[in-house]
Amino acid sequence: MLQDAMEAAGAKVSEKGIIETFDNDDEALDAVDNGVAVVDLSHFGRIRVSGEDRIQFLHNQTTANFECLREGEGCDTAFVTPTARTIDIAHAWIMKNAVTLLVSPETGGSIAEMLKKYIFFADKVEIQDITKQTAFFVLVGPKSNQLMEELNLGDLVGKPYGAHQHFSINGMPITVGVGNVISEEGSSLLMSPATAETVWKTLLSQGAIPMGSNAWEKLRVFQGRPAPQKELTNEFNVLEAGLWNSISLDKGCYKGQETISRLITYDGVKQRLWGISLSSAAEPGSTIVFDGKKVGKLTSCVPGRNGTEYVGLGYVKRRAASEGDTVIVGDSVTGTLVEVPFLARQQALSNSSSS
């Protein structure tokens, strides 16, 4: 069993069976900058969408343009409410007979149920939650491509984000994709639970540093990737969350499309998500103040490297403050607004541009 192998390697496991830490969080975060880290994200949700109408169905239910994707390609897409509030970001792989969606741990079951509700009588679509039948790892860091080549999985190196192929390791099938849920660099690996222990041990033997979910949460905030129940709630829309790369504006009608189109046409995006470098810990939900005025709200806060500083994410009113500005979070915590990689990669669209 994979979990037994991990516990033998010093992993601390939560009651839900999630690996919290290998007692090496700073080493694992250092590997993200200078080497390669491997993270078990098997607790994230995986949904298989099959049937001959699957592409049209996902095209209508999510924000990305699925009709322009071919087998072996992939994309990020957002699940939104009719008023464009973000439920989650999904990473999609277009396979021969199905689309596989990776979603956050908090939303996997609810998104699968929501999609089933939108299948009409004549739709040839099947939704299957395959989280328990699969395992999922990601590789993060500048040496991940080198590791892939050493494992004879190098065919994907240099391919676009979301591209994926089926391989076999020791005769066992594995699907490998370019990029992962927080970065367009690195790799994602989908396999059966029976294969997972072998793959994990192989990656470690090639020099990958194991990372637990505590360090992964820090990395998520450092990178600036929004998460459900924190940045992605009914309070904020998909454009305020900065998810531009997940959105198509020229694909016709889909859930949330009218609101998104109107927000862009009338420049209606009132706030945006920022990284915040903090002098000490602050409680998510705390008010952000600039120049004596309330301008926003903190949504996430984690300790920085080696516990020296803290890093947060928060929404700030547009035009109220900008990069480098000093803000007060809560009663007395000093913060500086900073760009973060995930949000900096997003390319804002106008209604005349295509995605």
- The CATH number covering residue 145 comes to 3.30.1360.120
Residue 117 lies in a domain: no
Predicted local distance difference test score (pLDDT) of residue 355 = 38
Kindly report, residue by residue over 38-59, the tens digit of the pLDDT: 999 999 999 999 999 999 999 9
- Does 282 share its domain with 145? no
Instruction: Work out the average pLDDT over 217-238.
Output: 97
Q: Is 265 exposed, middle or buried (0-12, 13-18, 19+ CB in 10 A)?
A: exposed
- Tokens of residue 185, six digits: 């660099």
Kindly report, residue by residue over 155-181, the tens digit of the pLDDT: 999 999 999 999 987 788 999 999 999
- Does 153 share its domain with 10? yes
Q: 169-176 — which CB contacts under 8 Å span 24+ positions?
A: 169/195, 169/198, 169/199, 169/202, 170/198, 172/198, 174/199, 175/93, 175/95, 175/100, 176/148
- Integer Cα distance of 148 and 270 in angstroms: 43
Distance of alpha carbon 137 from the chain centroid? 13
Residue 293 lies in a domain: yes
Residue 129 lies in a domain: no
Residue 94 lies in a domain: no
- Does 178 share its domain with 216? yes
- Does 252 share its domain with 214? no
Instruction: Work out the average pLDDT over 11-36.
Output: 95
Residue 60 lies in a domain: no
| Beta strand residue intervals within the chain, DSSP E | 12-13, 19-21, 37-40, 45-50, 74-80, 86-94, 98-103, 126-129, 135-140, 164-169, 172-180, 183-191, 209-211, 271-278, 287-290, 293-303, 310-317, 326-329, 333-338
- Does 285 share its domain with 219? no
- Does 266 share its domain with 324? yes
353 has a pLDDT exceeding 70: no
With b meaning 16 or more CB within 10 Å and e meaning fewer, what string describes 167-192?
bebeeeebbbbbbbbbbebbbbbbbe
Choose one of 223, 252, 276: the last residue of a domain.
Answer: 223
- Does 209 share its domain with 176? yes
- Integer Cα distance of 79 and 320 in angstroms: 29
Q: What are phi and psi of 180, to 5 degrees?
A: -150, -175
- Does 207 share its domain with 319? no
Distance of alpha carbon 226 from the chain centroid? 7
Give how many domains the chain has, as a whole number.
2
- Does 218 share its domain with 263? no
Residue 103 lies in a domain: no
What is the pairing mode between strands 37-40 and 209-211?
parallel
- Does 216 share its domain with 144? yes
- Does 9 share its domain with 153? yes
User: What's this model's pTM, rounded to 2 decimal places?
Assistant: 0.96
Domain that holds residue 322: 244-345
Predicted local distance difference test score (pLDDT) of residue 237 = 97
Residue 206 lies in a domain: yes
CATH of the domain at 290: 2.40.30.110
20 has a pLDDT exceeding 70: yes
For the chain, how far is it from start to end, CA to CA, in angstroms? Answer: 43
250 has a pLDDT exceeding 90: no
pLDDT tier for residue 201 given thresholds of 50, 70 and 90: very high
pLDDT-above-70 percentage for the chain: 99
- Does 29 share its domain with 166? yes
Residue 99 lies in a domain: no
Q: What are phi and psi of 150, to 5 degrees?
A: -65, -25
- Integer Cα distance of 38 and 33 in angstroms: 13
